[in-house]
Structure 1
């Protein structure tokens, strides 16, 4: 976990300030400044002198984000001469910063070198600024087509990439890429839809990552060999099912909204691909939960009462992911 030292609190504050600067900016120059402030604040949060993996991850992240910023700067010079080509390159640079397919190659490698707290920031807060900038460009024709093909490729790669993975961080990485495809198509419809989806995705993915962080689980064997009781395992299963969009958990609500709006917008083929990819992501979520619940670690019986419970069920985990169970009853009342 990130220690709350004063300088890291300052970097976290400047990271949020950079994101808010991008969201509220009225020019590409101020948006670029916000992106750079966000980047330079995140690098010290993930770098470490004691471990080689975070340092390598921070270097990879810096190089990719610097490449995206350089493309934005070069493309902005062409705005007055070839505006459509310039906006297309800016959109590609923002997709690269997001880690959307087919520019996703850096995302799993960076995530593998982070702990769960840093992974939460990378999966949620770091996506906020580029997604707002892409939503501003979504009305342009060429950007519209780039978002269309980027959404389809992200759905396919996000679903197929996580099948053979044993690392929980890589599984959540490919799940994030798959969720990004839903948000890209939501941008093509209206702005409110992708903001609702992003908010729900942030809450649910944070609950999943915090649960894994409290259990110190990073790979499949950590879930199987965990010594805590069945209740935390059931809670983690509910978290993963909610993240996969399985009804009636909370993760199904934003997908339900996007599905209805894609049907109204006649996006039938992309919707079919998104739904198939969601089924594939549910497959490896179910594989995780079945193996962790059905297989117990070997331990001596006289050791069981002596070992304290490592994870206490938090109301945050259950309230966020079980909120979807209340929606049908609320609709009946209305």
Structure 2
């Protein structure tokens, strides 16, 4: 029986602009990154940061995240690339799909930490600002799985089932035509998580990385049941998919961080971001000084105290009409 209300799959996921292939998978990821940077920049400015800083952080975090995502996928599904009859060079074929979100978060955080340290700003505050955008970016990126007809769920006759072409159906599922659209489930879930983080951040003034931890906990909670629906061939541990175990462990760690952080460091930290030129000057004048201390004021009292005190006082001019003091240095005639 054909489900006429089922979601169709795209007939192709690659278009060619002359010799240049335009891959839907890559375009979805790029669009997600753009949205994440835009939203993260707005939230960072609202926290007291400078415009454009999120872009500078993304220059480090995004490449690190993509590398980590691919490494996680290859490491956990190594049998797809190594062994008899396999081509190890396909491990570099990112355009064919295969990015692990856990590697993206871990390596992206590493890249973000390096960039934040270079700018002299606290990583937890930056992570809180970009957390909802990351969730939305993940949801947008999942549409790449729709174009590639991959990572769908078990067969279903529900009206919103996803039609999969016979060439993309796993072994043993050739007789089924519609499957759970797990890409759509995750898309909707991540947007819900982003909304939850934004609401909770406004309501409870989350700080010190707790907004990011809430995003991680919310995402892994949904990823657990979505992962349970999928039927793609992956490694199992004690009868459960590896990514499901990962979701469980990361969820518990995120909840633990939320509770412990709220007890040890309640409230939200104040973001005082030093100007980029201040950070550069500090590194140039004193290489051993390292990164300026987070939270140090820039251009205010700290700069005033650095002015030499043995400078002679400015000569006070008299007002030309009253003879009173103007408070301005006398101009040379």
TM-score bracket relative to the smaller structure: 0.3 to 0.5
Q: Whose radius of gyration is greater, 1 or 2?
A: 2
Instruction: State the TM-score, normalized to the length of structure 2.
Output: 0.38
Instruction: Name the TM-score, length of structure 1 as normaliser.
Output: 0.38
Higher relative contact order (CA 8 A, sep 6+): 2
Choose between structure 1 and 2: higher strand proportion.
2
Of Structure 1 and Structure 2, which has the larger fraction of its residues in helix?
A: 1
